[in-house]
Chains A and B, each alone.
With several copies, the nearest count.
Chain A
Amino acid sequence: MSIQINHHKLDWQEMADERHEVLAAWVTGQDVDLEEAIAYHRAMPSKLNFAHTLTKAKQAGRTLAQPRAGVAELGAHIELLQYLQNEGEADLLPTTIDSYTRQNRYEEAERGLEESVREGRSLLNGFPAVNHGVDNCRLLVESLSIPVQVRHGTPDARLLAEITLAAGFTAFEGGGISYNIPYAKRVPLEKSIRDWQYVDRLTGYYQEQGITINREPFGPLTGTLVAPCISHSVAVIEAVLAAKQGVKSITLGYGQCGNINQDVAALQTLPLLAEEYLRAEGLEDVEITTVFHQWMGGFPNDEARAFGVIALGGVAAALGKATKVIVKTTHEALGIPTKEANAQGIRATKQVLRMLQDQVYPENPVLAQEREIIMQETRLILDRTLELGDGDWALGAVRAFAAGVIDVPFAPSSFNAGRTMPARDNEGAVRFLSWGNLPFNKEIQDFHRAKLEERGKAENRTPSFQMVIDDIYAIGQGRLIGRPR
Chain B
Amino acid sequence: METKTLVLGVIGSDVHAVGNKILEIAFREAGFNVVNLGVLVSQKEFVEAALETNADAIMVSSLYGHAEIDVRGLRDLLIEAGIGDILMYIGGYLVVGSQEWSEVEEKFKKLGFDRVYPPSTLPQDVIPTLRADLGL
Contacts and interface: CB of A to CB of B under 8 A. Distances in A.
A331 B119 CA distance: 13
B96 A472 contact: no
B105 to A, nearest CB: 15
Contacts of B68: 123
A229 B36 CA distance: 29
A115 B69 CA distance: 10
Contacts of B122: 473
Nearest to B120: A301
Given A105-B13, A125-B96, A472-B18, A336 B65 contact: yes
A307 interface: no
B102 interface: no
B22 A333 contact: no
A413 to B, nearest CB: 9
A32 to B, nearest CB: 24
Interface string A257-282: 00000000000000000000000000
A99 interface: yes
Nearest to B95: A335
Contacts of B40: 103, 184-186, 412
A465 interface: yes
A108 B69 contact: yes
B17 A410 contact: yes
A183 B18 CA distance: 12
Contact of A125 (B22, B25, B66, B120): B66
Given A112-B69, A222-B18, A469-B25, A336 B13 contact: no
Contact of A185 (B21, B39, B95, B98): B39
Main secondary structure of the interface of A (DSSP, over half): loop
Contacts of A338: 97
Nearest to A71: B96
A68 B25 CA distance: 32
Interface string A307-351: 000000000000000000000000101111110000000000000
A297 B99 CA distance: 22
Interface string A203-230: 0000000000000000000101000000
A121 B98 CA distance: 12
A182 to B, nearest CB: 7
A183 B15 contact: yes
Contacts of A222: 17-18
A240 B17 CA distance: 28
A120 B25 CA distance: 40
A184 B15 contact: yes
Contacts of B46: none
A111 interface: yes
B64 interface: yes
A469 B12 CA distance: 25
A412 B39 CA distance: 7
A469 B98 contact: no
A153 B15 CA distance: 10
Interface string A164-194: 0000000000000000001111100000000
A248 B119 CA distance: 41
A412 B22 contact: no
B96 A123 contact: yes
B136 to A, nearest CB: 24
Most chain A Cβ neighbours within 10 Å, of B12, B13, B97: B13
A411 interface: yes
A335 B97 contact: yes
Contacts of B120: 301, 333
A124 B122 CA distance: 26
B25 A465 contact: yes
A100 interface: yes
Contact of B22 (A102, A121, A301, A472): A472
A410 B64 contact: no
Contacts of B93: 335
B66 A103 contact: no
B91 interface: no
A123 B25 CA distance: 32
Contact of B69 (A111, A298, A333, A465): A111
Contacts of A112: 66, 69
A123 B69 contact: yes
A394 B69 CA distance: 37
A122 interface: yes
A335 B98 contact: yes
B38 interface: yes
16 contacts: A99-B13, A108-B13, A122-B96, A123-B66, A153-B15, A185-B15, A222-B17, A331-B98, A333-B120, A335-B98, A336-B96, A338-B97, A410-B17, A412-B40, A469-B22, A473-B122
Interface of B: 12-15, 17-18, 21-22, 25, 38-40, 64-66, 68-69, 93, 95-99, 119-120, 122
Interface of A: 99-100, 102-103, 105, 108, 111-112, 115, 121-125, 153, 182-186, 222, 224, 297-298, 301, 331, 333-338, 410-412, 465, 469, 472-473
Closest CB pairs A-B (n = 6): A412-B17, A335-B98, A125-B65, A412-B39, A103-B13, A334-B98
Given A100-B13, A331-B98, 20 more contacts: A99-B12, A99-B13, A99-B14, A100-B66, A103-B40, A105-B13, A123-B69, A125-B64, A125-B65, A125-B96, A182-B17, A185-B39, A298-B18, A335-B65, A335-B99, A336-B96, A336-B97, A337-B97, A410-B18, A412-B38
